[in-house]
Structure 1
Amino acid sequence: MGILDYLLFLAVVLAGNTVGGVVFVAVLKNRTFLFDVAKVREESAEDKSNKLARLNGRKR
């Protein structure tokens, strides 16, 4: 085993860790984004129902 084998090993490990880290962070960010979208939709639906309730209360 020479220095070239060691450098090749380091390059492969660096590439693997880089790709793995990017995929891991992307999955975490994606789950957070999807949770935020669901939360915003839920809040939007609540706001609409509250607005309709207020409008119906004023008409009477």
Structure 2
Amino acid sequence: MNLSVVCAAFGAFLAFMAFAFGFWGLLISAIFIVVGAFVGRAASGKLDWRGALDALTGRRSSS
């Protein structure tokens, strides 16, 4: 799949959630999408936990 198609589908999903469930439904679905993305990256071994934690705490890497 092309990245444009994936992003368009993601936008359509979020628009549907906003229309169907309001702002809070949109917010909750976006949070679940982000959590699912992190779990998927961690399961495939492509997530650098140290880099993610450093980015969340505001630290910069030296490399």
For Structure 1 versus Structure 2, the TM-score category normalised by the shorter chain is: 0.3 to 0.5
Instruction: Compute the TM-score of the two structures, normalised by the length of structure 1.
Output: 0.40
Instruction: Compute the TM-score of the two structures, normalised by the length of structure 2.
Output: 0.39
Q: By percentage of residues, which structure has more helix?
A: 1
Answer 1 or 2: higher relative contact order, Cα 8 Å, separation at least 6: 2
Structure label with greater radius of gyration? 1
